[in-house]
Structure 1
């Protein structure tokens, strides 16, 4: 953009020519008596499965590239990835006479180069247009035309979709193309709408789509557009202003005096294209009214206009279109377990529980509107004969009437009465009813067993231990946490052994010291020791009986009854796995199964085929990275590293970075997983070019002064790093920049005040992502970590992946499935204390490759009780679904047969319905909630000498146990096969693993498939060489993107390669 255009863009951005979407809708709705014109570009038809102009250009570029590079198709399959486009463009730029990227003549040049024959060009468009399905936007636009909101539609498209949509109404389309320009002067009769195809109609006309053809807009149509826009309001949707001939005509029209208003609607929240800026500036200079409307997608605008302007039967018709636009969902069947012999037993820490069926409900007159939870806690104090919570505008309590009146003195707006407890409320694990019951049960057990308690925590005052942290002494008591969980049709009490700490003066221990002591005690409390701790508490709590009154010693009808034995599950043996006698599983009430470790795909050593291996390190050592053909072809023959490092650490860092070129062996404790590191070049098949401090690709940022405050020092450090990155990039082209943060900067990593939170890492990542710069942060102490083999593997993988290379992918099952990570980020320092950014829709293909993601604002969020999680309205969810659908279509010009959406918390009804509407055209949609359950633990068993005993290793990774019709536990974290034969490997080797709790909120896919997909995606975080992460990559990345994405939301709904934020 030149200086003049930049000035214009700033003017458009700062003055009243930018009209918010809601204001645009109001402007149209108060002028319904004035018929408007529409100008539709390719963007309006994307949701009808017609590729945009930009998508077409990249398809043609790829076709030209691949026809000149046969055998490389697999590495250029995902056209939405920026680096795929960059590599294609890099080759095209070397071809004589080819236009540069972004050149206004790209469209015409590449279609002519790809398909020189007119018949081939027609066939290209015909194939897409015949497969098109009318979107809700076109169907609603037809209803608006029926109500005379639109009198004329201009379009640069060849698809004829507006005419198809009008066929559903009583309006007759008058189609005007290059062979019927004379119709443009006729006056429409009542019930007619002129539809003008400016570049022709593939059914009748010689299409105009090459550069020379597009340049020659038909003179009659040109004059008609100029004259009509002088007097009639024009709404532009889905059009970028790519065609000079049309933009020249519009500029001529809006340079004349006239009453016609221009509303140019842009899809994202970013700045308008240069041509649009110039047009609006010209219109305003001539005294015309012209607006730029950001964030205006075609389908969404039509919906908003219809709901704002239509009434009666037409409005009902539109509501019916919206309701029926989504993917139809057949009734879901219950999760099942495959038949087979039993291979093992896993024992839980959960005991069936029967809770009181009612509670007291009342409303004190003094009950406040705000701060009600604190008010109730302070009222109860440390009483042990009453537990109460605020719920549904009242206080609910378990205790005696006497204790209620003693605590809540004064008049009552509503006197205490017994009301039934809805057990379905127990599904909300941090909900008020769960809070009431678990704390009431803790008080009842503590009173019956003469144990001290605090909330849901009980501890044994006998036999305390003594522990020290940095000379500070603490008393440590064995303790147990109580949880209440609802699973399927049953309620469970779950026990989790822990400790309670006190300082020498009896006060609670600081959190950091408590964490250190717990790590020392529980870090190696593996399967058998954990089982012994649970058994100890089971005997102590339930040895004298399993019925507990609340309050303890009072028989007022609030009774808890607990099964004495924990629930266990029989696990179906995998093929080839040893089985156990049936009698061993006779008492198991649950049944589960195991999933095999998913395979990864690598290129063979010769680079001529693909090889699978479930182990990422072994697969790479034995073979080559998945995209090795790029290296072999010479298109990407090395990785150039840039370094940002403060001057005092430069010499030591340079010396230590050479370790990436040197071999290393794993420590003895890591040989169950790691293999020898052979050096970067040997591992990845290409050299890593590491600079020296005196090189152009090494920069030292300015140092913050030691006398700066934390806030000013952190900002200075962030600006210094960014300035160094800019200097490096202007001097030398590199693939990825390593940013070394010294220990001296520990005080300048982040700060938080009442009005702001600032993080150096996130700020730099957001800045670099917008510029397409890949970065890797590295703490100074990482380079001195004694686990040198691990550090070399992990850092090398990160550098390779962030250079936009593909080390490995999942061996897909062959189904046409795509995955979406769905995350939100809440900025508590935003306007009104709350600003939400949707941080993914992050798209993954069936091979687990993270593709593009899209950041978009949430207009009308709702929140849970603790204001921690944000939920979407139906309209917001529909827009998210539409953007997901558009991303898929832009990547492949086709929708996947099945889409799986992963989310960290529940899908509420509005979200489900809105997403299904937005994903119209996708045959199957699964919505799966995935959380790490902090309560449920299972202990693994093994046959020893014909007897079933507790194993030393935890539950196997890939174990699945249904706990309800739509719920299951899945062990992504657990024991797995080690590299050494007959050994087992437990990643991290800490205590015993927590399962993921998965809930299917929509869809009919079977449990085995859903669990296999989650297990596979847990192996696809290229920022780690671990066998897996404890959540699928869909959730790992979407959460991180959402957090950093807050800093990028002013830059529109742009797509970025997620590796820029890894």
Structure 2
């Protein structure tokens, strides 16, 4: 038996589209593309974007100054081989940012600070006061588009609960505001207000603000039409909860070019546990996939996709495969793909005389291990980002591949791996060139983490912008 593995294939870096009609408006670099062409939804977002605020009285002016600085210019002082100058929010996105009406700015007084400092459960005190402020702002919901919440370092004791308390302030706030369809942006002192590299902060906050206001920065330029991409993840509720132990969060993230960004959440009851991992019954999987498919049809005049690609982090059991196939019986092709993020594989580029090269494996490299399994390097060397030479995000370490395991579907790995590679560039809550996983997996995990804290799921789909 030969110990040799298959020859590798290297996929090109996926292109992003910045205009619905002008096919020439594309770039592989998301931020460079925004500077060259503007966002994909230019002219379709409120102008100005109105920002309401919640802040301690001592930090309120600092938060207002930070909002004004979004209109300024900042040179990159880190990641200089990737990050362009920030030229101002209006220059990038074609719309302005302004403070909301006078009644949409809440300052938390010294009395709250004293109560917070004296409490043995500071996270509960902080969460209750912030939610009270959000509910107060909700009375003026027509007067603002996004809420900025200032989080000074002095509040850090309240960001998480005690060891015996499954509490995370960020997820708790998102759970409440997402249920009310209110987008919020948490502005932490250490990561934004006091962070020294201002261009990085402006790009990250600017992108997030534009997306939370309903904007679409970019889409995929070369995506396969009539395709639906679905990601599945599971949320574990604390044993003390009176609700079902697990919630299946099923995210219908994209159609072929990247529109959609809605998801459904479903309380799952028929679950089998294996090695601490939940697996759905055929009936439960059918229900989840059927609701996801309905989202696609609702956006495409009742038409089913020709192809469906489903990603999840654990294997697809026979009952789950049967449930998917029953739900997608009208689709021509169904790919059920397990995405394994931790593998024992590494890769080194070998050049002349069988010596390691001085730069890493190219991003997009595929090595087929079998008809069912392949390695895909999501992280690696990328050409065309810098003026000269290639770009390696992070600049250190030996890139690890993810493993794709196909439990249904057939054909070459190019299409299956190419879709995962392209979806790694569709996180609008990040200014990086790509994420380490396709957004189907990344978003589903974020959603699952927040969903388990929601008091009621409801039957209506949610837009992801409320969870960013």
Could you say which TM-score interval applies, normalised by the shorter chain? over 0.9
Task: Select the residue among 245, 264, 267 that pairs with 1:857.
Answer: 267
Pair 1:855–1:639, CA change in 2 (3 A): same
What residue in structure 1 maps to residue 173 of structure 2? 764
What residue in structure 2 maps to residue 131 of structure 1? none
Question: Which is greater in Rg?
Answer: 1
For residues 332 and 22 of structure 2, what CA distance do their matches in structure 1 show? 35
2:299 paired with 1:888: no
- Where does 1:356-395 land on structure 2 (aligned, <5 Å)? none
Deviation at 1:623, TM superposition (A): 0.9
For residues 787 and 951 of structure 1, what CA distance do their matches in structure 2 show? 32
Pair 1:853–1:784, CA change in 2 (3 A): same
Deviation at 1:609, TM superposition (A): 6.8
What residue in structure 2 maps to residue 574 of structure 1? none
2:313 paired with 1:904: yes
What residue in structure 2 maps to residue 1006 of structure 1? 412
Task: Select the residue among 332, 344, 350 that pairs with 1:935.
Answer: 344
What residue in structure 2 maps to residue 916 of structure 1? 325
Pair 1:1011–1:689, CA change in 2 (3 A): same
Deviation at 1:876, TM superposition (A): 1.0
For residues 92 and 223 of structure 2, what CA distance do their matches in structure 1 show? 27
Pair 1:1059–1:1041, CA change in 2 (3 A): same
For residues 849 and 953 of structure 1, what CA distance do their matches in structure 2 show? 35
CA contact (8 A) 1:837 1:1049 kept: no
For residues 5 and 253 of structure 2, what CA distance do their matches in structure 1 show? 39
Deviation at 1:988, TM superposition (A): 1.5
For residues 148 and 239 of structure 2, what CA distance do their matches in structure 1 show? 31
User: Which structure shows the higher helix fraction?
Assistant: 1
2:9 paired with 1:603: no
For residues 259 and 243 of structure 2, what CA distance do their matches in structure 1 show? 36
For residues 288 and 222 of structure 2, what CA distance do their matches in structure 1 show? 26
CA contact (8 A) 1:828 1:834 kept: no
What residue in structure 2 maps to residue 1017 of structure 1? 423
2:107 paired with 1:700: yes
Q: Cα deviation per residue 1:837-878 (whole Å; 9 max; x = unaligned)?
A: 01123331111234221111111211222x1x2111111112
For residues 184 and 69 of structure 2, what CA distance do their matches in structure 1 show? 19
Q: Cα deviation per residue 1:1012-1042 (whole Å; 9 max; x = unaligned)?
A: 1111100000000100000011011011111
What residue in structure 2 maps to residue 972 of structure 1? 378
TM-score for both structures, normalised by structure 2: 0.93
2:447 paired with 1:1041: yes
For residues 717 and 977 of structure 1, what CA distance do their matches in structure 2 show? 47
CA contact (8 A) 2:250 2:288 kept: no
For residues 358 and 314 of structure 2, what CA distance do their matches in structure 1 show? 33
Deviation at 1:948, TM superposition (A): 4.2
Task: Select the residue among 20, 23, 44 that pairs with 1:630.
Answer: 44
For residues 815 and 833 of structure 1, what CA distance do their matches in structure 2 show? 39
What residue in structure 2 maps to residue 962 of structure 1? 368
For residues 854 and 665 of structure 1, what CA distance do their matches in structure 2 show? 41
For residues 814 and 958 of structure 1, what CA distance do their matches in structure 2 show? 17
CA contact (8 A) 1:926 1:1005 kept: no
Q: How many residues align?
A: 461
Q: Cα deviation per residue 1:485-526 (whole Å; 9 max; x = unaligned)?
A: xxxx99xxxxxxxxxxxxxxxxxxxxxxxxxxxxxxxxxxxx
CA contact (8 A) 1:596 1:958 kept: yes
What residue in structure 1 maps to residue 76 of structure 2? 666
Pair 1:813–1:707, CA change in 2 (3 A): closer
2:387 paired with 1:981: yes
Deviation at 1:753, TM superposition (A): 5.2
What residue in structure 2 maps to residue 874 of structure 1? 282
Pair 1:940–1:1050, CA change in 2 (3 A): same
Deviation at 1:817, TM superposition (A): 0.6
Q: Cα deviation per residue 1:685-742 (whole Å; 9 max; x = unaligned)?
A: 1111146xx9433212444421101xx3212211211121222232462111111211
- Where does 1:139-538 land on structure 2 (aligned, <5 Å)? none
For residues 727 and 790 of structure 1, what CA distance do their matches in structure 2 show? 32
- Where does 1:607-618 land on structure 2 (aligned, <5 Å)? 611-618=25-32
For residues 179 and 24 of structure 2, what CA distance do their matches in structure 1 show? 34
Deviation at 1:796, TM superposition (A): 0.3
Q: CA RMSD in A?
A: 2.2
Task: Select the residue among 784, 794, 799 that pairs with 2:194.
Answer: 784
Q: Cα deviation per residue 1:540-583 (whole Å; 9 max; x = unaligned)?
A: xxxxxxxxxxxxxxxxxxxxxxxxxxx7xxxxxxxxxxxxxxxx
CA contact (8 A) 1:666 1:789 kept: yes
What residue in structure 2 maps to residue 677 of structure 1? 86
Larger mean CA deviation between 833-842 and 888-897 belongs to 833-842
